[in-house]
Amino acid sequence: MESDMDRILISREQIARRVCELGEQISETYAADEQAGLTLVTVLSGSLIFAADLIRCLPFRMKLGLITVSSYKGTSPGQPSLIQQLKVDVRDRHVLVVDDILDTGATLRLVQAQLAAAGPKSLRTCVLLRKPDKAPADVPAEFVGFDIENSFVVGYGLDYNDHYRNLPDIGVLKPEVYEEKL
Ligand code: XMP
């Protein structure tokens, strides 16, 4: 699997350090208002591994919610669709959306609209990766792990046709891998 990688953009060590830093930033934002209650909403499937690591850097009480959105086929963005709705009530609670990557922003635009309609006390977004050349201004992310180049990346939860999520680093695949039918 690692031999399919063309280059590593972000190593597992860099990821681990940055996830802890994000945890500190997020804790500073919410810890003072712990009583109001935070619900952290993970956007599946891509942010599964990121969210699992991030929540263990947040040393205060919180609830978890899951939402599943599908958008990419291979490396081509499609129209995002909601596969599984949020099943917990977030009315009057602080909500932090956790997603793997802010690319075109179509997915997070849909998720943010859904959650805003549920009447939260506040709504913020944390992404591990952002492609600043593409991320649109109307889709805010208050917490960002890394700004990256405009390439299709895999690893640490991010997939190509559902493969490579279990790679511990984040990188770009060799061009010939994208041409294979995985
Ligand atoms: P958008 O374009 O809607 O992307 O901001 C959101 C979702 O699409 C997936 N995505 C990627 N997956 N490498 C991936 O493995 C990428 O470079 C990439 N860009 C977008 C991802 O699931 C993200 O949540």
pLDDT per residue as tens digits for the range 124-154:
999 999 999 988 999 999 999 999 999 999 9
For residue 51, the SS3 value is: helix
Global pTM reads 0.94
Query: Do 93 and 62 touch, CB atoms closer than 8 A?
Result: no
Reply yes or no on whether the pLDDT at 182 is more than 80. Answer: no
**For residue 181, what pLDDT is reported?**
65
CA distance 38 to 63: 6
Q: What angle do CA 94, 98, 152 make, to 5 degrees?
A: 155
**Residues known to be catalytic:** 103
Reply yes or no on whether the pLDDT at 75 is more than 90. Answer: no
Test site for ligand 1: of 71, 81, 82, 160, most ligand atoms within 8 A of the Cβ: 71
> Is any ligand 1 atom within 6 A of the Cβ of residue 103?
yes
According to DSSP, the β-strands at 143-147 and 122-130 are: parallel
Test site for ligand 1: of 41, 73, 103, most ligand atoms within 8 A of the Cβ: 103
Reply yes or no on whether the pLDDT at 78 is more than 90. Answer: no
> Is any ligand 1 atom within 6 A of the Cβ of residue 155?
no
Among protein residues, the one whose CA lies closest to atom 6 of ligand 1: 107
> Is any ligand 1 atom within 6 A of the Cβ of residue 67?
no
> Is any ligand 1 atom within 6 A of the Cβ of residue 169?
no
Q: Map tokens 């990821």 to a residue.
A: 15
> Is any ligand 1 atom within 6 A of the Cβ of residue 153?
yes
